[in-house]
């Protein structure tokens, strides 16, 4: 297992990847569907959960140039119109460079989901759902490629 520690102020993120001999990497491009996930729900005849309502979201974007964007967001999913409204705060830091910047964000985009993918605007992510209550996902985690960067996050439904 090879691990890399990325740390900033009060947060430490450890990335680990198994060392596999003769592994073949399959490049992904932004907007391309991710490969089938081994984490996909394997229960036959299980309906795809609905993503609807307000969710607290924590998201991270990590880029090859050392840029890291962390976000604390509120996502409001309108399932009837397949629209997501996002508001919150983003913090941007470049590894090895002193200082960071914060900005507010507020935008609307389309979304859709399947048993294994979450599509946000033009970006397709792998998805794994938490508990499903009355057909609605109470939480989910996602990851994928956005341009040259990797994005991952967690969404937890608010009641």
User: Where do the structural domains in the chain lie, given as residue ranges?
Assistant: 49-159
Of residues 29, 45, 54, the one with CA closest to residue 115? 45
The residue ranges of DSSP E strands in the chain, in sequence order, are: 2-8, 11-17, 53-62, 67-78, 83-94, 100-113, 117-120, 123-129, 132-133, 136-137, 139-146, 149-157
**Residue of 15, 125, 6 lying closest to 66 (CA atoms):** 6
In angstroms, the CA 55 to CA 71 distance is: 13
> Could you tell me the end-to-end alpha-carbon distance of the chain, in angstroms, rounded to an integer?
40
Q: Which fold has domain 49-159?
A: Porin (2.40.160)
Q: For every one of its 159 residues, what pLDDT tens digit does the chain have, with 9 covering 90 and above?
A: 344 444 333 334 444 444 333 333 344 455 555 555 555 544 556 789 999 999 999 999 999 999 999 999 999 999 999 999 999 999 999 999 999 999 999 999 999 999 999 999 999 999 999 999 999 999 999 999 999 999 999 999 999
HSE-CB at 78 with a 13 A cutoff on CA atoms is 10
Quick one: tokens of 77? 């999913």
């Amino acid at each position: 297992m090879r691990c890399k520690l990325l740390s900033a102020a009060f947060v430490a993120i450890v990335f680990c990847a198994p060392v596999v001999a003769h592994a073949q990497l399959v490049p992904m491009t932004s907007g391309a569907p991710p490969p089938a996930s081994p984490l996909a729900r394997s229960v036959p005849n299980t309906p795809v959960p609905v993503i609807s309502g307000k969710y607290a979201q924590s998201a991270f974007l990590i880029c090859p140039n050392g840029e890291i964007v962390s976000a604390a967001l509120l996502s409001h999913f309108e399932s009837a119109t397949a629209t997501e409204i996002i508001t919150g705060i983003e913090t941007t830091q470049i590894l090895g460079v002193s200082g960071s910047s914060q900005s507010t964000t507020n935008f609307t985009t389309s979304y859709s989901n399947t048993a294994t993918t979450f599509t946000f605007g033009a970006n397709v992510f792998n998805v794994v759902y938490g508990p499903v209550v009355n057909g609605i996902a109470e939480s989910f985690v996602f990851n994928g490629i956005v341009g040259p960067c990797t994005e991952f996050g967690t969404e937890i439904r608010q009641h």
